[in-house]
Amino acid sequence: MSELVKRNASELVELLQSGEVTSVELTQAFLDRIEKLNPLLNSFLHVNTKEALATAAEVDRKRAAGEKLPKLAGLPIAVKDNLTTTDAPTTAGSKILEGWIPQYDATVVKLLREEMMPILGKTNLDEFAMGSSTEFSAYGPSRNPWDTDRIPGGSGGGSSSAVAGFLAPLAIGSDTGGSIRFPAAVTGTVGVKPTYGAVSRYGLIALASSLDQIGPVARNVLDAALLSDVITGYDKHDSTSLPESLGSMVEAAKSGSLKGVRVGVIKELSGEGFQPGVKALFNESLELMVKAGAEIVEVSCPSFEYAIAAYYLILPAEASSNLAKFDSVRFGMRVTPEGNPTIERVMAATREAGFGPEVKRRIILGTYALSSGYYDAYYGSAQKVRTLIQRDFAAAFEKADVLVSPTAPTTAFKFGEKLEDPLAMYLNDIATIPANLAGTPGISIPNGLASEDGLPSGIQLLAPAREDKRLYAIGAALEALQEGVWGKRMIDFAPEVKAGA
Ligand code: GLN
């Protein structure tokens, strides 16, 4: 393997800026790796070879001419396939959008283009980002580079496997209930869900609009910060976009310290149901933080118990409405039944053929929850729980600067293990969902290899809304402590992925 692809994004930026490596060389190195490993990992649904190399060549030409370039110019990146791109198909992992090429770029994609980052391609996901394993992608699952018989997390398993398998130095994800943070935890990478509204959702194919947030996928906290500083900011095309600046995450990541930090351990997310090895690693990290001057406080968030139930009413309700537009008329697929079909029968046949089982399950659930007779009992109650969860957070942040928990109850599971049991699949997100319901930011950072199976686990840090900087500062400080103990980055423990294995 070219050692270049293993370097952190921050190091690659320096190599590009100093002229030690050209963007074409770097982009080609990742494209070579993709060519070799994508048949096995299925991280990318579409590879943008020509366009990526064209951007790279333009960066090299401008650099050679001494022109001023954006900071990350020439650094390749992968984009989750639920963001619209004018130069590549956008499927959202669904058959219903097969072959659709959008007429406009998502704001985040536009920002990446302005930064002159070559876009390597579009990464795999569970259909419309519904799932935790990529097993619900209509284009087959992605594989976890640590063990290719296991899931890379979901829904953003394409982005996490690409970054963990060194197919891309950075990637974009979207997180509605954990789809950036859960994949990060099970692949030994870093994933961030920013404060709701911090990153524009314009051009993101909506799953649940009040929960969705776009964020960075990276190999370490500083790299995530570099990407965050590119994609964060006000956008008039997104009515929920935050007008104020949240500051520089790179500066935060470089100035982090744990001295005097009050770290709140969420009682409800550290007890039952967590794999013993995952819990043991979590406790070790708490000890490390204490040694570095942090104070551990226990906080209780009693309403978190109802987070999954509330989420699985609010999400399907919003999704059933968001997905109504896939009607065979405006986008992608159209199935015309035999005979003399009415428009209703064409729509029904298209949606029957175009949507997979999980999407159908959620449309039915959501439509039911919103039906007039049940609206108050289900959707109304779920919204009340949402308020209670926000209050739990507010009370906890009186006592603590950040809250912590394991990101996920277990390490990566095997393909098929949870496919027949939707509730078991939903439980993966027990620790990540509360932040989506409250609109607050969260980061997952690698937290060592579990003793039972030698697979990566993650630790999640949560901060109050708009305090994303705190996550980068404290996350980077914890990461430095861990790497001090391990002697290297966690990703360097990953076994070499063998093509054709
Ligand atoms: N696994 C969660 C779900 O299936 C999270 C999805 C997401 O964040 N996009 O809804």
Best probe residue, ligand 1, of 311, 315, 322, 413 (max atoms within 8 Å of C-beta)? 315
Active site residue 360: no
- Nearest 5°: CA angle at 266, between 291 and 288? 15
pLDDT at 138: 98
Q: Kindly state the DSSP code that residue 220 receives in the 8-state scheme.
A: S
Closest by CA position to 292, among listed 480, 469, 487, 445: 480
Indicate if 80 belongs to the active site: yes
Q: Which helix (H) or strand (E) holds 446?
A: strand 442-449
Q: Which one from 23, 80, 159, 200 is the annotated catalytic residue? A: 80
Q: What pLDDT does residue 281 have?
A: 98
What pLDDT is attached to residue 2?
67
What does each of the 501 residues of the chain score in pLDDT, given as a tens digit? 569 999 999 999 999 999 999 999 999 999 999 999 999 999 999 999 999 999 999 999 999 999 999 999 999 999 999 999 999 999 999 999 998 999 999 999 999 999 999 999 999 999 999 999 999 999 999 999 999 999 999 999 999 999 999 999 999 999 999 999 999 999 999 999 999 999 999 999 999 999 999 999 999 999 999 999 999 999 999 999 999 999 999 999 999 899 999 999 999 998 788 999 999 999 999 999 999 999 999 999 999 999 999 999 999 999 999 999 999 988 889 999 999 899 999 999 999 999 999 999 999 999 999 998 988 899 999 999 999 999 999 999 999 999 999 999 999 999 999 999 988 899 999 999 999 999 999 999 999 999 999 999 999 999 999 999 999 999 999 999 999 999 999 999 999 998 764
The third-level CATH classification (topology) of the domain covering 3-256+442-492 is Amidase signature (AS) enzymes (3.90.1300)
161 an active-site residue? Answer: no
pLDDT for res 498:
84
Task: State the closest ligand 1 atom to the C-alpha of 178, by its place in the atom list counted from 1.
Answer: 8
CA–CA separation, 402 vs 398, rounded Å?
A: 10
Fill in the amino acid letter for 6.
K
Cα–Cα distance, 498 to 501 (Å, whole number): 5
pLDDT of residue 297: 98
Predicted local confidence at residue 340, as pLDDT? 87
Q: How far apart are CA 358 and CA 406, in angstroms?
A: 26
- Cα of first residue to Cα of last residue in the chain, in angstroms, is 16
Taking the domains of the chain in order of start, what are their residue ranges?
Answer: 3-256+442-492
| Other Cβ atoms within 10 Å of 106 Cβ, number | 26
pTM strictly above 0.95: yes
Which of 176, 180, 201, 205, when mutated, tests ligand 1's pocket best, judged by the most ligand atoms within 8 Å of its CB? 176
pLDDT of residue 1: 57
For 119, list phi and psi in degrees, rounded to 5. Answer: -90, 110
User: Which residue's CA is minimally distant from atom 4 of ligand 1?
Assistant: 131
Which residue is catalytic, options 133, 160, 179, 444? Answer: 179
The residue among 158, 235, 210, 214 whose CA lies nearest residue 189 is 158
The catalytic position among 43, 155, 161, 228 is 155
